[in-house]
């Protein structure tokens, strides 16, 4: 099974995941501890993830890798499988099926799903492929040597198994499965894979699908009858994806470059080098992003200036007012009054 050449197109763009997907993964922690915020903090998830006042849509994909690793470390393998199976079957997969409109064949539904998945997770690469006389659904993922990888691959395997079971009314059962992980033991406990031949240490994760199922129409009560158009960030642009990834953390104030690098799991020099190639100074860019977010908040009359100051990382309103006046030549109150007049 060869890697899809499309994966080479991602270059240096920052992998992103939609905020509501992070909320789903974070919700899995709730059964482990009454207070999930220390675990969210450890996973580099912003403290305002659940706040309706926060206006960001994407987070770095690393946040979900960290959350999955935390789950894997706190649960026994069988408990991890049971939790993910239940959450995928009852919560996560129905959200995806409701967006599917292609029902002429399982292949058309899976191809549509693969495209929609990219709007949720920009660097996820899942696709159908005919090779070696069989149809497959394939998932590519880099990082096989990372601590989070095995649990992430197990999550993906459970997700794909539950998705295919839902779309085929439990008729799908693969003859062969390829895994990037070296050990198939826990994967073999999944109910759809009990009679499956496993191949480990493969370059991709892949599940065989018989041709009769692949070409059969799909029937499911959740299938949509309307077209869904998902807006995607520009995948090939480092600067755009970097800004989207960092925006949720600007409530920490002028985020130091070392903190940004830790969140994105990049070396500081690597980050500086990439920004330099874009002709961007990190400090100036962050200052501008903080200012833009501050201006948006000031346009909301229900938010008090003191609350905005604290939210943007200032110790008090006076400090915030002085800093704002240096940049805008007016106080926050004057800006708000001027905005009202327009």
| Cα 74 to Cα 28, 32, 90, 146, distances in angstroms | 12, 8, 22, 17
Dihedral class, residue 74 (left if φ above 0, else alpha if ψ from -120 to 50, else beta): alpha
Go through the domains of the chain in sequence order and give each one's CATH number. 5-214 (3.90.1520), 253-341 (1.10.10.60)
Rounded to whole angstroms, the Cα distance separating 191 from 168 reads 15
Q: What is the pLDDT of residue 265?
A: 92
In 132-227, DSSP assigns E strands to 134-140, 176-178, 197-199, 205-209
What confidence tens digit (pLDDT) does each residue in 165-184 have? Answer: 999 999 999 999 999 999 99
What confidence tens digit (pLDDT) does each residue in 59-72 have? Answer: 999 999 999 999 99
pLDDT band at 4 (very low <50, low <70, confident <90, very high): very low
Q: At what angle do helices 282-298 and 317-328 cross, to 10 degrees?
A: 110
What confidence tens digit (pLDDT) does each residue in 96-128 have? Answer: 999 999 999 999 999 999 999 999 999 999 999
Full DSSP string of 108-133 = HHHHHHHHHHHHHBTT-EEEEEEETT
Helices (H), the chain: 19-27, 37-42, 62-74, 77-87, 93-97, 106-120, 149-167, 211-214, 238-246, 257-264, 268-277, 282-298, 305-311, 317-328, 332-341
Average pLDDT of the residues in 147-176: 97
Average pLDDT of the residues in 39-56: 89
Average pLDDT of the residues in 128-150: 96
User: Which residues, listed in sequence order, are joined to residue 197 by a DSSP beta bridge?
Assistant: 176
Answer yes or no: are the C-beta atoms of 200 and 23 closer than 8 Å. no
Chain centroid offset of residue 21 CA: 6
pTM greater than the 0.95 cutoff: no
Per residue, the 3-state secondary structure of 16-29, as one string, reads EEEHHHHHHHHHCC
CA angle 16, 21, 23 (to 5 degrees): 120
């Amino acid at each position: 099974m060869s890697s899809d050449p499309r994966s080479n197109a991602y270059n240096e763009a920052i992998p992103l995941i939609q905020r509501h997907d992070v909320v789903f993964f974070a919700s899995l922690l709730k059964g482990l501890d009454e207070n999930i915020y220390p675990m969210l903090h450890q996973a580099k998830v912003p403290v305002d993830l659940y706040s309706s006042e926060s206006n960001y849509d994407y987070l770095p994909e690393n946040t979900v890798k960290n959350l999955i690793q935390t789950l894997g470390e706190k649960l026994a393998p069988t408990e991890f499988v049971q939790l993910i199976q239940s959450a995928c079957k009852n919560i996560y997969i129905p959200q995806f099926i409701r967006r599917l409109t292609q029902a002429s064949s399982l292949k058309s539904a899976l191809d549509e799903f693969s495209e929609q998945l990219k709007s949720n997770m920009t660097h996820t690469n899942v696709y159908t492929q005919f090779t070696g006389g069989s149809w497959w659904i394939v998932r590519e993922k880099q990082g096989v040597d990372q601590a989070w990888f095995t649990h992430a691959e197990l999550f993906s395997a459970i997700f794909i198994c539950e998705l295919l079971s839902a779309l085929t009314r439990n008729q799908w059962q693969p003859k062969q499965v390829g895994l990037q992980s070296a050990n198939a033991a826990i994967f073999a406990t999944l109910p759809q894979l009990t009679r499956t031949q496993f191949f480990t240490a493969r370059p991709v994760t892949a599940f065989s699908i018989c041709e009769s199922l692949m070409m059969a129409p799909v029937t499911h009560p959740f299938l949509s009858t309307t077209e869904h158009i998902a807006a995607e960030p520009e995948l090939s642009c480092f600067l755009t994806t970097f800004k989207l990834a960092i925006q949720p953390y600007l409530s920490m104030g002028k985020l130091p470059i070392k903190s940004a690098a830790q969140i994105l799991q990049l070396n500081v020099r690597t980050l500086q080098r990439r920004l330099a190639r874009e002709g961007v100074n990190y400090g100036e860019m962050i200052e501008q992003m903080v200012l833009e977010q501050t201006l948006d908040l000031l346009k909301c009359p229900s938010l008090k200036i003191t609350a905005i100051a604290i939210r943007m990382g200032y110790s008090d309103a006076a400090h915030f007012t002085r800093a704002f006046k240096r940049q805008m030549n007016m106080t926050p109150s004057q800006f708000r009054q001027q905005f009202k007049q327009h």
